[in-house]
Amino acid sequence: MMKGEIAGRATPTPVAPIEGTQWHFFAEGRKSHRPVKRQRKAQSLNVAYEVSDGEKGEGTELLKVPSWEPQDWQQQLANIRSMRSGKDAPVDQLGAEHCYDPSAPPKVQRYQVLLSLMLSSQTKDQVTAGAMQRLRARGLTVDSILQTDDSTLGTLIYPVGFWRNKVKYIKQTSAILQQRYGGDIPASVAELVALPGVGPKMAHLAMAVAWGTVSGIAVDTHVHRIANRLKWTKKVTKSPEETRRALEEWLPRNLWSEINGLLVGFGQQTCLPVRPRCQACLNQAMCPAAQRL
């Protein structure tokens, strides 16, 4: 299948990855509702994957009014923003939006964004950034990766978590990108998660950083943990993907793009997996988990 003919439709017009941070522009120009008459009831937005803005026509925006929302969540969010105002967590300096070569062609930039996300799974940002530096030093493109033998690739990405599996996934995904997408990455979440080694969190972040599209909330272990500690889910969730669906049920869409980076940094600095620093947290008095920790 040639580029531009993905799933029987034209792909959205590519946009260059944003510089600095991926979150600034997402909420611009969005409206939460339209004053028009409807013939049928508005449906709750509860889908696994959404089409990108470029695929939507006029009048396709779904309206939703949450039937439930967490107690004190707005004040908790404001407090987290205050604690994160310094933007000095590892994710702020070494996240996916900082790991690609800004001088490379847009298609190569998008590929590098995807690879950085694949490497980041169960790996600290510092380790991911180091692996990306070593790969970029050799010229990080689809062709260069396919021409690199597995042993050399493993040496370059070590010690990222599960590096042996990631060597296999990177090679398989790169071959698919070359054969089906002309060396570019897909422009939809459904096609991204179909790639070997790419999960929902990576796909939503790739859509945000590489394509400039908010497709959903990117939930990793930090977001999953903190959402449950603050009881931002109606019931306890057992996986990041379950947490994503629960958050998207009530969290206003204009906050979707912000929440990942905000909570990841908060989880790296304050709401730690083990021995969280509750004494230094502005949410201590209103955090259900703080009363038990």
Active site residues: 201
What is the Cα–Cα distance from 154 to 166, expressed in whole angstroms? 8
C-alpha dihedral, 40 to 46 to 51 to 55, nearest 10°: 10
What is the Cα–Cα distance from 53 to 21, expressed in whole angstroms? 20
Give residues with Cβ within 8 angstroms of 151, minimum separation 6. none
- If we measure between CA atoms, which residue out of 115, 97, 140 comes closest to residue 196? 115
What is the Cα–Cα distance from 197 to 193, expressed in whole angstroms? 8
For the chain, state the CA radius of gyration.
20
Upper half-sphere CA count for residue 30 (Cβ side, 13 Å): 18
Token look-up 């979150």 returns 23
What is the Cα–Cα distance from 100 to 113, expressed in whole angstroms? 6
Neighbours of 90 (CB within 10 A): 16
Give residues with Cβ within 8 angstroms of 279, minimum separation 6. none
- If we measure between CA atoms, which residue out of 74, 47, 22 comes closest to residue 249? 47
Contact 210, 113 (CB under 8 A): yes
